[in-house]
């Protein structure tokens, strides 16, 4: 695809639902749509790093295998006793990030962000500064771990004297960053929850879910509601039947068991969208 302005891929957060983004990437690469800039938040940082490292069909194939291994290698522990043990020891989170770190190290080794084939950045939330932080250079694995550190589930990641939590807290789907970077065409890869209406919470658990969803969505809604002249923004579909109705990403086997189905649904839906809207 030939374009006179930079093409940005923006990949949002959503835990195990991030498998939808793999199908979207597959559709984009099959149509020879390549990014000039990749931005990621939370699990979108993982998917984005993979495509920024090698924006070719082979990279998408490896990413599909990586997602299957998320389930098979227990990246998110699904054993109740393991979860309880981690929580008792840490008092702050249910899961260790050791398995995720190992998987990332196998995939990316000791690569630096600035050495990737396509410019890449991912966002995380600094605890000490109560502010967003964009990783644009330095060790890739550490940056992705920081961006993916879901509060209460994974531990904060210490880097350079600060501690970082999930990028979804500050910029879950960073379209605004892409606009500020001068992108002319933006492809938004998300997990399908952005169009689901919220309702007042009825239980303590729903309070946390609704609060996090508001934090996730407000910047994206603002960006999409204020289009910039000359900039095309394509929000790719997940293909989920009736949308993604459950706002809570499921961790463990229950959440990761639908990996192949989610990838295929998003691939088919996004391929159809691109034929119609991005020819």
Q: Which two tokens stand for residue 132?
A: 């967003």
Contacts 24+ apart (CB under 8 A), 127-133: 127/156, 127/162, 127/163, 127/164, 127/165, 128/162, 128/163, 129/162, 131/170, 132/167, 132/170, 132/171, 133/162, 133/164
Per-residue pLDDT of 42-95, as tens digits, reads 999 999 999 999 999 999 999 999 888 775 655 544 443 344 344 445 455 466
Mean pLDDT of the chain: 84
Distance CA 75, CA 159 (A): 21
Q: Which two tokens stand for residue 106?
A: 């196998």
What band does 246 get if pLDDT is binned at 50, 70 and 90? very low
The confidence score (pLDDT) of residue 71 equals 59
Residue 37, SS3 per DSSP: strand
Look at residue 208 and tell me whether its pLDDT is greater than 90. Answer: no
Residue 40, SS3 per DSSP: strand
* Residue 112 DSSP symbol: B
* Residue 129 DSSP symbol: T
Q: Are 115 and 16 in contact (CB under 8 A)?
A: no
Q: Are strands 232-235 and 185-189 parallel, antiparallel or unpaired?
A: parallel
CA 87 vs. chain centroid, Å, equals 25
pTM: 0.86
């Amino acid at each position: 695809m030939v374009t006179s302005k930079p093409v940005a891929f923006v990949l949002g957060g959503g835990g195990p639902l991030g498998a939808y983004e793999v199908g979207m990437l597959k559709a984009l690469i099959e149509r020879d749509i390549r990014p000039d800039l990749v931005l990621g938040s939370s699990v979108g940082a993982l998917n984005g790093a993979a495509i920024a490292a090698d924006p070719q069909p082979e990279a998408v194939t490896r990413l599909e295998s990586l997602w299957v291994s998320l389930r098979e290698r227990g990246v998110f522990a699904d054993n109740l006793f393991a979860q309880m043990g981690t929580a008792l020891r840490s008092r702050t989170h249910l899961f260790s990030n050791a398995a995720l770190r190992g998987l990332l190290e196998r995939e990316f080794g000791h690569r630096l962000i600035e050495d990737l084939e396509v410019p890449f950045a991912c966002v995380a939330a600094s605890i000490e500064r109560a502010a967003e932080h964009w990783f644009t250079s330095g060790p890739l694995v550490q940056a992705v771990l920081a961006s993916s550190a879901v509060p209460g589930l994974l531990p904060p990641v210490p880097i350079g004297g600060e501690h970082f939590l999930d990028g979804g807290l500050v910029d879950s789907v960073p379209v605004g960053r892409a606009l500020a970077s001068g992108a002319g065409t933006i492809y938004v890869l998300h997990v399908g929850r952005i169009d689901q209406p919220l309702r007042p919470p009825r239980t303590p658990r729903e309070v946390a879910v609704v609060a996090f969803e508001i934090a996730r969505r407000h910047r994206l809604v603002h960006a999409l509601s204020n289009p910039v002249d000359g900039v095309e923004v394509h929000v790719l579909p997940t293909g989920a039947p009736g949308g993604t109705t459950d706002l809570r990403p499921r961790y463990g086997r229950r959440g990761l068991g639908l990996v192949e189905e989610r990838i295929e649904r998003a691939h088919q839906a996004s391929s159809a969208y691109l034929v119609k809207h991005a020819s």
